[in-house]
Structure formats: structure tokens, C-alpha cells
């Protein structure tokens, strides 16, 4: 594979699969934009006010149509963006091409990149000597901390998109290893309540359907992890008529699953019961050898958590003794002799690998939080202590306000009497 090529023709430095896909990519980016009214409003203001002037930003995100609209917004604000992929299977090559060719954004991302290429692309983004990072999963931040400590003083701040990234950042901060402040965009209410729940819920079902074309009605679906993603996944599968069992390690979340109407069982009990398994825990080896051994013939497994470690695939490959074949796009069949088990998208994020990721309408809110957090950090980043910070509450509320306004939904203001009552304590029974 060729190294990133700076093009004299005016194209920014890039390494993408095929610039010839730019036209198709641009059409899809525009299609997504229609569903992203909040981000569009922010872009229009950024175009006028240029609040990010002079900012070099390295972003490690899924290279999708929605991310393209975020990158356009940041560039409209005056930032120079270098984008690399946060997952080798989620890159949409046509979008990468459009970003370079139509929108002048530096992109280093190819669908299906091997591990070396993946990290070479992160390096290429870091080579732009960013003042800010925008990460999804914390790979860019850890790479810079481990391999490029000389750059840490140049970086004012960063943002992080997902739960697993926030967990890693908090671990770094606890060890005193984190060298610049990071805003945890995932923790914004207008992010995880919608993106993790409704976005992952719908797109995970989409990924399973596109990969398998299985009927969901009547099927036994096991969802491991009843966090924000798991709740959405379980609800959407049930909506299609599945019987859902939830596997949890947290008592409160297990109770919540039960009272939401799902069965709750251990992974040991779920293994022979389930027909479709979806992990969304952010944990490692949730489904392991002892579970593969008792699964039904034809069981389908996939993962919606950030990393591809939730299914113990090396153990499954051992059990199959090398009898693994691709039977459909994104479906690998492991032949255990008496039974065949199926793994979707190599255990990577099924919603982004076998489908197109979250619908744009939900990413509108996540990426509005990203754009506004970048603006806030550009102004206030140097005032922040080292560590992981919440999205400022005013940004979170503003995103909700703009989204409702874009949907034409008007709320009741409190009457003066109600406002007074809600702020008082005298009046009781
Ligand atoms: N697919 C996507 O597009 C997408 C979107 C957002 C987040 N994510 C990722 O999905 C994962 C989950 O995110 P979330 O926001 O739901 O997190 P969360 O912290 O809200 O929920 C995770 C749940 O998993 C449970 N859990 C942990 N280990 C377990 C185990 N061994 N067995 C069963 N349950 C276990 C936890 O108790 C918790 O309730 C993270 O890796 C996150 O980064 C993916």
C-alpha cells in the first residue's frame, strides 16, 4: 500500500482507497446532511464567525457520512482537520474519497486496513501536529502518549466520543498518565441517551439483518450488557418479535432489564438457549470456549461494543481447528464438527461493519456536542485541569433545544406561578 501522498493538484495529504468514489461519497454525505439540522446550523454559524481559526485538529473517528459532516463543520469554523479511522471495518471508502476530493479534508483511512496500516494512519494524523484530538475509543490519545510524548505540550485538549474511550481515559487519569484535559462527549445526555440507545439499537439490528437476512420474530436473542447500548438493542429486537434474554453483571441494570420485560440469565444458561447473541459490554471475553461448546447449531454471534474482544474468537478458532469459512459477506462460519456457529463482522462493531452505523439524525446530536465542545475547548482549553471533563451543561441543553426546534416541537414554559412553586419550600401537604 502506498504512503500518504501530498498532491500538488491542491488535494490535501491523504491515503484513501479510491478517489474515483468521491462522487458517490458526496451524494451520501449530502443525504446524511439532510438529517443533521443541528450540525448544519452550527456549520452556518462557524462559516460566519470562524471560531476555530488557526486550530489543527486530529480526529480518529469512524469514517462515515455523519463524520464527514462533522469534519466539514470543523473546517467551516476555520480548523484544519486530519481524519483517521477509529476502526478498520467501519471506513466507508466513498466517504473518505469525497472528504479528500470534494471537501479538502486530509483523510487517512481505508476499509479493511490491517493493524499496521491502521496505526500508520493514526501516525499520519498525529504528524499534522494537532492542537486538539477528537477520539473514538482512545487509540489516538494513547498512541500519542506512548509514542510521541514530545507532542503532548502542543496539545491543548481533546474530546472523546465513546464509553470505552472514556473508561480508558479515566484509567489514564487515575494513574497520572493523562497529560492534557479531555471532554467526555459520551457523557453528555444528548449523546448517550440517544446515540448509544437508539442509534446502536437500530443500527445493530440493521447489521444483523443485512449480514444474515434472518427472521427475528420468535427468535431467542441474548443481549450481553444492559447499559445504554444494550437497552436499545434489546428493545429493538423485542420490537421485531424476538424473545430477549439479558446477561448482566450489575445488579441494578439486571433488575432494570427484568422490569423492562426481558428475561435475565447467566451467560452459561443463555448459551444453549440463544439463537442470536449480541455483546455490548465494553468488557473482554464475555462469550468464551465453555459457552461456544454448548451453543445450538446455527447460532449467530456479534458484537456492538467498541473493541473486538467481547467474543473470545481465538478460542472459537481453536475449537474449530481451522475449519472457518466466509459463507456470506460479514458472516464467518466456524465448524465445530457437530455444529456450526456464525460470527458477524469478525466480532467488530456489527452496526458499523455490516451496516452503516447510527442513522444521521442521532449522530446530529453527538456531533453537535463534538463541534461545540471543540469550540469551547479552543477558547477555554488552557483553563482546564488535567483529567476527564463533562461537556459543559449549557452545550448539552443547547443541543437538545436546537434538535427540538429543528423537529418543530415546542415545549410549555413554566407559568410564573409554577416557577415560583418549584423554587419554594414553604407550601407542603
Ligand atoms: N456500536 C456502537 O456504535 C457503539 C455506540 C456507543 C457505544 N459503543 C460501545 O458499546 C459498549 C457499551 O457502551 P454503553 O454506553 O452501553 O456502556 P455502559 O457502561 O452503559 O454499559 C455496559 C454494561 O455492560 C455490563 N457488563 C460489563 N461486563 C459484563 C459482562 N462480562 N457480562 C455482562 N454484562 C457486562 C455493565 O454492567 C454495564 O451495565 C462500549 O464499548 C462503548 O464504547 C458502541
Give the cell for residue 21: 468514489
Specify the pLDDT at position 10: 86
CB 225 within 8 A of CB 163: no
CA count, 13 A, side-chain hemisphere, 41: 15
For residues 212 and 331, give the distance between their C-alpha atoms in angstroms, rounded to a whole number: 7
pTM (2 d.p.): 0.94
Specify the pLDDT at position 258: 98
* Dist. CA 379 → ligand 1 center (Å): 32
**Percent of the chain residues topping a pLDDT of 90:** 97
Give the cell for residue 53: 481559526
For residues 7 and 81, give the distance between their C-alpha atoms in angstroms, rounded to a whole number: 16
* Dist. CA 227 → ligand 1 center (Å): 5
For residues 222 and 234, give the distance between their C-alpha atoms in angstroms, rounded to a whole number: 8
User: From the CB of 250, is ligand 1 less than 6 Å away?
Assistant: yes
Residue whose Cα lies nearest atom 20 of ligand 1: it is: 227
For residues 230 and 223, give the distance between their C-alpha atoms in angstroms, rounded to a whole number: 6
* Dist. CA 52 → ligand 1 center (Å): 33
What's the rounded mean pLDDT across residues 403-424?
A: 97
* Dist. CA 33 → ligand 1 center (Å): 28
User: From the CB of 279, is ligand 1 less than 6 Å away?
Assistant: no
Residue 59, C-beta contacts closer than 8 angstroms, at least 6 positions apart: 67, 70, 71, 74, 81, 82, 83, 84, 125, 133, 134, 135
What confidence tens digit (pLDDT) does each residue in 132-141 have?
999 999 999 9
User: From the CB of 390, is ligand 1 less than 6 Å away?
Assistant: no
Give the cell for residue 220: 431467542
Strand order in the sheet with 56-61: 106-108, 80-85, 56-61, 132-135, 157-160, 182-184, 388-390
User: From the CB of 349, is ligand 1 less than 6 Å away?
Assistant: yes
The alpha-helical segments, DSSP class H, found in 131-283 are: 139-147, 163-174, 189-191, 200-212, 228-239, 251-259, 267-273
* Dist. CA 145 → ligand 1 center (Å): 25
* Dist. CA 125 → ligand 1 center (Å): 28
Q: Is 5 helix (H, G, I), strand (E, B) or coil?
A: strand
Site to substitute for ligand 1 among 268, 284, 305, most atoms within 8 A of C-beta: 305
* Dist. CA 162 → ligand 1 center (Å): 10
* Dist. CA 305 → ligand 1 center (Å): 6
Q: At what angle do helices 93-101 and 22-33 cross, to 10 degrees?
A: 90
- Give φ, ψ of 4 to 5 degrees: -55, 135
Q: Which helix (H) or strand (E) holds 109?
A: none
Site to substitute for ligand 1 among 61, 67, 169, 225, most atoms within 8 A of C-beta: 225
For residues 363 and 207, give the distance between their C-alpha atoms in angstroms, rounded to a whole number: 17
What confidence tens digit (pLDDT) does each residue in 283-304 have?
999 999 999 999 999 999 999 9
Residue whose Cα lies nearest atom 42 of ligand 1: it is: 163
The number of the ligand 1 atom at minimal distance from the alpha carbon of 351 is 1
Residue located via cell numbers 444458561? 269
User: From the CB of 304, is ligand 1 less than 6 Å away?
Assistant: yes
For residues 64 and 359, give the distance between their C-alpha atoms in angstroms, rounded to a whole number: 10
For residues 309 and 152, give the distance between their C-alpha atoms in angstroms, rounded to a whole number: 29
What's the rounded mean pLDDT across residues 50-78?
A: 98
Q: Give yes or no for residue 30 having a pLDDT over 60.
A: yes
User: From the CB of 274, is ligand 1 less than 6 Å away?
Assistant: no
CB 110 within 8 A of CB 93: yes
Site to substitute for ligand 1 among 282, 349, 362, most atoms within 8 A of C-beta: 282
Question: Which is it for strands 340-344 and 331-335: parallel, antiparallel or unpaired?
Answer: antiparallel
Contacts 24+ apart (CB under 8 A), 45-52: 46/73, 46/74, 46/76, 46/77, 46/78, 46/371, 46/375, 47/76, 47/77, 49/77, 50/77, 50/78, 51/77, 51/78, 51/375, 51/378, 51/379, 52/77, 52/78, 52/79, 52/374, 52/375, 52/378
Specify the pLDDT at position 9: 63
The number of the ligand 1 atom at minimal distance from the alpha carbon of 350 is 1
* Dist. CA 219 → ligand 1 center (Å): 23
What confidence tens digit (pLDDT) does each residue in 241-255 have?
999 999 999 999 999
Q: How many CB atoms lie within 10 A of CB 33?
A: 20
User: From the CB of 247, is ligand 1 less than 6 Å away?
Assistant: yes
What confidence tens digit (pLDDT) does each residue in 188-225 have?
999 999 999 999 999 999 999 999 999 999 999 999 99
Confidence of residue 8 (pLDDT cuts 50, 70, 90): very low
Mean pLDDT of the chain: 96
What confidence tens digit (pLDDT) does each residue in 308-354 have?
999 999 999 999 999 999 999 999 999 999 999 999 999 999 999 99
Site to substitute for ligand 1 among 207, 227, 252, 268, most atoms within 8 A of C-beta: 227
User: From the CB of 158, is ligand 1 less than 6 Å away?
Assistant: no
* Dist. CA 20 → ligand 1 center (Å): 37
Angle among Cα 245, 296, 208 to the nearest 5 degrees reads 60
Amino acid at each position: 500500500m502506498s504512503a500518504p501522498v501530498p498532491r500538488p493538484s491542491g488535494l490535501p495529504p491523504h491515503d484513501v482507497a479510491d478517489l474515483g468514489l468521491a462522487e458517490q461519497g458526496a451524494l451520501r454525505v449530502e443525504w446524511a446532511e439532510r438529517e443533521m439540522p443541528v450540525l448544519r446550523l452550527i456549520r452556518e454559524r462557524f462559516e460566519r464567525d470562524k471560531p476555530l481559526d488557526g486550530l489543527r485538529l486530529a480526529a480518529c473517528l469512524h469514517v462515515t457520512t455523519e463524520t464527514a459532516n462533522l469534519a466539514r463543520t470543523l473546517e467551516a469554523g476555520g480548523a484544519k482537520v486530519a481524519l483517521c479511522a477509529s476502526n478498520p471495518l467501519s471506513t466507508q471508502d466513498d466517504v473518505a474519497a469525497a472528504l479528500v476530493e470534494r471537501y479538502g479534508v486530509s483523510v487517512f483511512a481505508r476499509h479493511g486496513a490491517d493493524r499496521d496500516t491502521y496505526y500508520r494512519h493514526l501516525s499520519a494524523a498525529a504528524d499534522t501536529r494537532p492542537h486538539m484530538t477528537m477520539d473514538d475509543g482512545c487509540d489516538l490519545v494513547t498512541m500519542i502518549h506512548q509514542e510521541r510524548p514530545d507532542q503532548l505540550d502542543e496539545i491543548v485538549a481533546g474530546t472523546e466520543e465513546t464509553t470505552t474511550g472514556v473508561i480508558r481515559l479515566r484509567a489514564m487519569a487515575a494513574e497520572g498518565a493523562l497529560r492534557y484535559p479531555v471532554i467526555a462527549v459520551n457523557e453528555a445526555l444528548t449523546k448517550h441517551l440517544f446515540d448509544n440507545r437508539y442509534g446502536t439499537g437500530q443500527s445493530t439490528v440493521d447489521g444483523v439483518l443485512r449480514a444474515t437476512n434472518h427472521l427475528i420474530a420468535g427468535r431467542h436473542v441474548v443481549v450481553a450488557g444492559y447499559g445504554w447500548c444494550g437497552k436499545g438493542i434489546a428493545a429493538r429486537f423485542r420490537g421485531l418479535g424476538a424473545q430477549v434474554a439479558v446477561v448482566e453483571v450489575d445488579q441494578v441494570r439486571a433488575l432494570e432489564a427484568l422490569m423492562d420485560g426481558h428475561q435475565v440469565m447467566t451467560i452459561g444458561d443463555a448459551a444453549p438457549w440463544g439463537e442470536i447473541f449480541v455483546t455490548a459490554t465494553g468488557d473482554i471475553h464475555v462469550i468464551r470456549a465453555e459457552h461456544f461448546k454448548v451453543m445450538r447449531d446455527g447460532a449467530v454471534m456479534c458484537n456492538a461494543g467498541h473493541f473486538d474482544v467481547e467474543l473470545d474468537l481465538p478460542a472459537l478458532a481453536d475449537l474449530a481447528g481451522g475449519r472457518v469459512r466466509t459463507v456470506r459477506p460479514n458472516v464467518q462460519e466456524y465448524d465445530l464438527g457437530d455444529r456450526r456457529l456464525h460470527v458477524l463482522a469478525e466480532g467488530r462493531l456489527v452496526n458499523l461493519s455490516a451496516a452503516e452505523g447510527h442513522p444521521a439524525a442521532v449522530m446530529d446530536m453527538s456531533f453537535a456536542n463534538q463541534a461545540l465542545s471543540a469550540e469551547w475547548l479552543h477558547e477555554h482549553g488552557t483553563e482546564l485541569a488535567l483529567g476527564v471533563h463533562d461537556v459543559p451543561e449549557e452545550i448539552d441543553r443547547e443541543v437538545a433545544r436546537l434538535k427540538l426546534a429543528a423537529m418543530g416541537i415546542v415545549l410549555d414554559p413554566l407559568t410564573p406561578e409554577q416557577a415560583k412553586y418549584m423554587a419554594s419550600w414553604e407550601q407542603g401537604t
